[in-house]
Amino acid sequence: MTQPNDLPRRDHVSWDAARRVAHLVGRPQPAVSRALADAAGCVLASPLVSPAAVPPVDRSAMDGYAIRGPGPWRVIAHVAADSAASIELADGQACSITTGAAVPAGATSVIRDEDIELDGHWVRGPSAPGKHIRRAGEECQAGEVVLPAGVVVDGPVLGLAASLGLNRLTVIPQPVVAALITGDELVHQGTSGPGRVRDAIGPMLPDLITRAGARLGPIQHLPDTRTALAEALSPTGRPRAGGPTEPAGGLSGADLILVSGSSAAGPADHLRAVLSELGAELVVDGVDCRPGHPQAVARLGDGRLVVGLPGNPLAALSAFLTVGVAAISRLRGLPLPALAVAAIPGGVACHPHSTRLVPVRVTGQGAVPVGHGGSAMLRGAAGADALAVVEPGPAEAIAARLLPLDPGARPWGG
């Protein structure tokens, strides 16, 4: 007997439960030592500890003149950046200095070049004790923890590590995420036609994967056959031709495999049967949300994760942002991403049993629905900032959590 569409399936889990389970099922990658040039995008596996004081000596924060005592000051030297520390100033004396150079012994402050009045061998200008001098250990002391474990390594973190004198970092590496795009009806050039649909999910996934903090693995297109899917997911399977992004190697090196277009219950949807055949543990088998309810999460015997995405583009996007991002976060050693809450001006209708995911633009007045939120549409999402997570209920929601459409973005107000 077919169940009415407005009733939740008993084996479906709630949207929140699906995110939590997808996050819990993964295992963070083992920590490795990486050169700074190779550590961007990874996560610190251990705290970042400074091996020495920074700066190690008092240094000038500006190009200008180091001075001692009240002015005017007589210039006694113009020296290179690495030799200013060999000079000792007496009261009323000055020495030219460059940014980052060690200040001469006895210096009480530095006057920047743009504030100096130069008259022969004499300088005048505003000064205050300690002005424009970075004191030894001002940023950190030797042995001080400057960043905790769990921080994503980005440009500022790499720069900080270099300023501490470090050449390598201990990190959790980025997981590799691959994808299988199924569908005999898909075309990869030109427009759709009768019985043919332009593939939108294949072009969408690479950017989503990398923004979520993972490394992009092969994107492979498959025909709608159980054999092709089983062969691709098998640890010893070989990739099959069939799309413009045919990879050079298989998927055994991927930590997570996205499978789109085979996660529902139609005659061409083979994912669950193949997962059972491979002995996988199916931990999420449908989610009470719209769009995206046929999504799935499984763990293969070799530890690789499989995330089933629906074949409709917005449904696939919703599923990736729901369980895909949660699983990737866990593989990176990160907590489940927190979601900000925003008001919805005018409210938005709730579904009686399922969580609605509604494209919205975040404004100063709150989260404004942009429309075009059907499961096959990407127009709304392309013009939106987030999906509003609208809880089930009998009426309208006037506020909702926000699921960023950029998986790497920090939550609003976070």
pLDDT at 84: 59
In sequence order, what are the beta bridge partners of 187? 198
Separation CA 13–CA 286 (nearest Å): 7
**339-357 in b/e burial notation, b at 16+ Cβ within 10 A?**
bbebebeeebebbeebbbb
Query: Does the pLDDT at position 248 exceed 80?
Result: no
Query: Does the pLDDT at position 241 exceed 80?
Result: no
CB atoms within 10 A of CB 238: 10
Task: Give residue-wise pLDDT tens across range 293-316.
Answer: 999 999 999 999 999 999 999 999
Which of the four pLDDT bands, split at 50, 70 and 90, describes residue 412?
Answer: low
- What's the Cα-to-Cα distance from 17 to each of 25, 263, 286, rounded to whole Å? 12, 19, 11
What integer is the mean pLDDT of 34-53? 97
Percentage of the chain exceeding pLDDT 90: 79
Which of the four pLDDT bands, split at 50, 70 and 90, describes residue 410?
Answer: confident
pLDDT at 269: 80
pLDDT at 411: 75
What integer is the mean pLDDT of 357-361? 98
What integer is the mean pLDDT of 217-237? 89
Q: In one letter, which amino acid is 226?
A: R
Residue 89 contacts residue 76 (beta carbons within 8 Å): yes
Least confident window among 97-106, 170-179, 329-338: 97-106
What integer is the mean pLDDT of 195-199? 87
Query: Does the pLDDT at position 163 exceed 80?
Result: yes
Which of the four pLDDT bands, split at 50, 70 and 90, describes residue 2?
Answer: very low
Which of the four pLDDT bands, split at 50, 70 and 90, describes residue 80?
Answer: low
Which structure tokens are listed for 87?
A: 């000079």
Task: Give residue-wise pLDDT tens across range 113-141.
Answer: 999 999 989 999 999 999 999 999 999 99
